[in-house]
Amino acid sequence: MANRKIVVALGGNAILSSDPSATAQKAALVETAKHLVKLIKNGDDLIVTHGNGPQVGNLLLQNLAADSEKNPAFPLDTLVAMTEGSIGFWLQNALENELTKEGIEKEVASVVTQVVVDKADPAFVNLSKPIGPFYSEEEAKVEAEKTGATFKEDAGRGWRKVVASPKPVGIKEIGTIRTLIEAGTVVVAAGGGGIPVIKEEDGTLTGVEAVIDKDFASQTLAEMVDADLFIVLTGVDYVFVNYNKPDQAKLEKVTIAELEEYIQQNQFAPGSMLPKVQAAMAFVENKPESRAVITSLENLAALIESDSGTIIEKA
């Protein structure tokens, strides 16, 4: 079935392997683009989102290492914007080159995306997302006094700064994104969950120190562009229950009710598979006539041909 509007949320392994250099990340995206172009060849309209966790972490470390009065470190919302721009360029370039090789004339555009969050979101009180370097307890106390930031002990590895991870409630550039899709453009948007902004009482937007989960931002985008299909890419072809156990079983077609039961059983790892499953469920819940799929980049061709992957339907 062609002519579908598809939002594809890339997993981290689509960009970053073990080598964090720009050369290696660009090379990974060349391979990623080859798989994504299969959907375009199938006649589908494509909107691509991506993560930026390792990249924004590296940029933050670089900023802190060079921090001085003459060269001050940038705030987190700006670092998100910078990585959204750099990864957007790499992905845009890789897709354009792959389309050229395939003889397909199509524009590709990256949109630096502001994602609106609610200033009353409890995430701004319960800071939970660790970012940046590890500190000893003493160093963390000094940093907290100096900057006003909050630090928490992280899995026995040291103390790290924590920031809010609020839920997305809207996308500022959604009109522009829709216009581009309607013009047949391949769009790269909401990179790294987008730049978190809050709406002030006078209607203006202000960037905030926070990190939005990329899967939930992708789900919000998929709903707002009225996507027919929301594909969440990860490192495996299927979602599994009893993962890595003798009775491990892959999920092929699964309903929201079944997934809710698996979540109650703690089948999906928080911070890994769980947000992917929850984002896919929320999309289908809000758009019952549509479907969501969780699968791997390498399995996209099989998905086009035979509905391969974990397919989530309302009932």
User: Which one of the listed residues 5, 161, 276, 287 is annotated catalytic?
Assistant: 276
pLDDT, tens digit, 9 for 90 and up, residues 165-211: 999 999 999 999 999 999 999 999 999 999 999 999 999 999 999 99
Per-residue model confidence (pLDDT) at position 224: 98
Homologous superfamily of 5-115+170-313: Acetylglutamate kinase-like (3.40.1160.10)
Active site residue 129: yes
User: Which one of the listed residues 13, 42, 93, 97 is annotated catalytic?
Assistant: 13
- Buried-exposed string 258-293: b where 16+ CB fall within 10 A, e elsewhere: ebeebeeeebbeeeebebbbbbbbbbbeebeebbbb
Query: Would you call 294 helix, strand, or coil by DSSP?
Result: strand
Query: Which residues, 6+ apart, have CB-to-CB distance to 50 below 8 Å?
Result: 9, 10, 14, 15, 87, 91, 188, 191, 192, 214
Please give the order of strands across the beta sheet that includes 168-171: 168-171, 114-117, 195-199, 205-207
Query: Within the chain, which residues score under 50 in pLDDT?
Result: none
Query: Would you call 188 helix, strand, or coil by DSSP?
Result: strand
At residue 24, what is the residue type?
A
Active site residue 214: yes
Per-residue model confidence (pLDDT) at position 23: 94
Phi, psi angle pair for 197, to nearest 5°:
-130, 150
Give percent of the chain above pLDDT 90: 84
Q: What is the pTM of this model?
A: 0.93
Per-residue model confidence (pLDDT) at position 157: 85
pLDDT, tens digit, 9 for 90 and up, residues 264-286: 999 998 878 999 999 999 999 99
Query: Which residues, 6+ apart, have CB-to-CB distance to 147 below 8 Å?
Result: none
Active site residue 12: yes
CA distance linking residue 289 with residue 259, whole number of Å: 18
Per-residue model confidence (pLDDT) at position 2: 63
Per-residue model confidence (pLDDT) at position 300: 94
Q: Where are the domains of the chain?
A: 5-115+170-313
User: Which one of the listed residues 5, 161, 214, 287 is annotated catalytic?
Assistant: 214
CA distance linking residue 170 with residue 121, whole number of Å: 13
What Cα–Cα distance (Å) separates residue 311 from each residue in 48, 80, 146, 291? 19, 31, 49, 7
User: Which one of the listed residues 129, 191, 193, 309 is annotated catalytic?
Assistant: 129
Helix (H) or strand (E) holding 254: strand 253-255
CA distance linking residue 54 with residue 90, whole number of Å: 15
* Mean confidence (pLDDT) of the chain: 94
Active site residue 13: yes
CA distance linking residue 197 with residue 206, whole number of Å: 5
